[in-house]
Chains A and B, each alone.
Chain A
Amino acid sequence: MNATARSAPGPKRPGSRRPRPAGDGEHRPQRDHQLALLRQMLLIRRFEERCVELYSAAKIRGFVHLYIGEEAVAVGVGQALREEDAVVSTYREHGHALARGVPAEAVMAEMFGKATGCSRGRGGSMHLFDAGRRFYGGNAIVAGGLPLAAGLALADRMRGAERVTCCFFGDGAYAEGEFHETANLAALWQLPLLLVCENNLYAMGTSLAREHAQTNLAMRAASYGMPAWTVDGMDVLAVEAAARRAAESVRAGGGPHFLEARTYRFRAHSMYDPDRYRDKEEVARWKTRDPLDGLEGAMRTAGSLDDGVMKQLEEDVATEIDAAVRAAEAAPREPVSDLLRFVTSVPGRV
């Protein structure tokens, strides 16, 4: 949409990517791909819905920030990344972690604070990590992950590795100095960094227009000298297309790229938020653009999805989450005698 970049035009409109009917072998790959996207989004959605129940049952505590409504961003961007790439995330990162392939079981166990959690119970919902999958968290300081991501990209740049570091952050983070310092540094040094701003229009209770003097975020990012554009964050195929284009350009040595995904969180900021700052009508309006419904509808129209397939998908996802919850329930707690582990690498040195 707002192609503010000095580079190629903006991503294709979602309509232009409408899938064609499956049925003949030729279109199976496309159908399978879309089904995989739908499954990932569904997994994130159902995972978090289960988290709400577990939170109410006091099995999960702390701050929990739900991603419901924003799934298309993590899943779409995830398609553009390779195994060797890195992801830096925020405290609203269940979706990023799951889309990155961190097992639901490891994420759920972390929510329970168990020893089998992906951060061994030290992190909880806001600090998910998986070094093996190059998933660098899990940062609960707004914008704190941005400089880190630049550093990961710098390491790749210095070693000549053709890898991309993708950093997710919100519109709130965009107002922090760390965003602007990082954008400048990354553009100055032409770092292989993909900056994905999840603009869900609110930083806690502060709306975009009340936090930014200039609300055209892509235009401002472009002023640092990097290609920047905006994409419909409720359309997973559009996000995927835009992210692929950006990531490929980053990988090819094009320096940092900025992608703003216009999205919306359907739930409150966190489990503690009574959500008084948005009117119900606005929320309802955005819910008509649910990214899961969007893809499901498109696939049904194209004849590549029916009730049977959908039911199967729901059952698969439910089974996976049930297993994750059961495993988390049964998992051992970290012993209190290990409290001081992982403060320094040398045990006992504090």
Chain B
Amino acid sequence: MNATRAADTARTTYREALRAALREALRGDDRVFLMGEDVGRYGGCFGVSLGLLEEFGPDRIRDTPLSESAFVGAGIGAALGGMRPVVEIMTVNFSLLALDQIMNNAATLLHMSGGQLNVPIVIRMTTGAGRQLAAQHSHSLESWYAHIPGLRVLTPATVDDARHMLAAALDDPDPVVLFEHGSLYNEEGVLDAATDSVGLDSAAVRRPGADVSVITYGGSLPKALAAAEELSGDGVDVEVVDLRSLRPLDDATVLESVARTHRAVIVDEGWRSGSISGEIAARIAEQAFYDLDAPVQRVCSQEVPMPYAKQLEEAALPQPASIVAAVRRAVA
């Protein structure tokens, strides 16, 4: 316990923060268990659950066969049966094999049963590109999940959110899908010692600014902050809003920011067509049209299956340089 405390206040990585959150949840509630492909003996495909098998045993750190639909569905059933399962899916690409269970069961059972059946499951999965893994390991489909009523969709981007969102997600009586961007696992940060819980409903202003609102989430946050830093050298004062949750979407924080800066740039690693950035732009247009001094700008992935070659992948993805360019267009 003391060791955990000490670690919490020290510098930590996103990966370690997630692990600390899992450990705390497993210690605090014996209904909590983790299951997924290679979460146990392998230590998690991305090393998140390393060491948990030794501490909690194979019943609670449960390696599953490669059967996304069955083990996600089993997680949903276990949640109905009174457990608090945390199910890990290696990447969002593979989650499509379990989409039936997530959408047709987890998201709908409460409603179809007229309020009788809660599904308190947390489904964690990796998302995003940037590691040259090509098209079947690199997509950002979180906006698809954000489309579905009945789900809560979280995108932790900081070590604090990585550390604390899981506990809040497990407290939620509804299904929560938690997206961890693959490029964040090694990111380091200092945990806020004062924080021991985080809300899930509100976006956060990660960097206050007066000239333009850059609205983003997850793996694009570090890029947006880097772009803001670069622009500050040129006297452009960028505010960076981290959405944190894609469903529900905290319009209020976004609109309040845009009302101050009068300019919006949305950064989203999903494809532009039918994206969450399109949804946010629409909400700004619906609710804050007269606050705007310039058209909303969007920085999204190019409409291409993610390529392998480094220069192609980089060109396909939002980058600090493309964010800088979009901000310059907005403030021109």
Q: Which residues of A contact B (CB under 8 A)?
A: 86, 88, 117-123, 127, 129-131, 136-139, 141, 144, 146-156, 158-159, 165, 177-178, 181-182, 184-185, 188, 341-346, 349-350
Contact = CB atoms under 8 A, between A and B. Distances in A.
Contacts of B101: 144, 147-148
A138 B112 contact: yes
B307 interface: no
A139 B105 contact: yes
Given A139-B105, A147-B74, A154-B81, A344 B112 contact: no
Contact of A117 (B69, B72, B114): B114
A177 B118 CA distance: 26
Given A151-B79, A159-B82, A344-B150, A129 B112 contact: yes
Nearest to B68: A181
Contacts of A123: 112-114
Contacts of A129: 109, 112-114, 116-117
Chain B: number of interface residues, binned into ranges: 35 or more
5 closest Cβ pairs, A-B complex: A151-B77, A147-B73, A155-B81, A120-B114, A181-B70
Contacts of A130: 116
Interface of B: 33, 59, 64-65, 67, 69-83, 85, 100-101, 104-105, 109-118, 149-150, 152, 172-174, 201, 247-248
Nearest to B81: A155
A147 B77 contact: yes
Main secondary structure of the interface of B (DSSP, over half): mixed
B61 to A, nearest CB: 12
Given A141-B100, A185-B67, A154 B113 contact: no
B114 A155 contact: no
B81 A152 contact: yes
A52 B120 CA distance: 38
A118 B113 CA distance: 7
Given A178-B69, A344-B150, A151 B112 contact: no
Contacts of A152: 77-78, 80-81
A345 B81 contact: no
Given A147-B73, A178-B70, A131 B201 contact: no
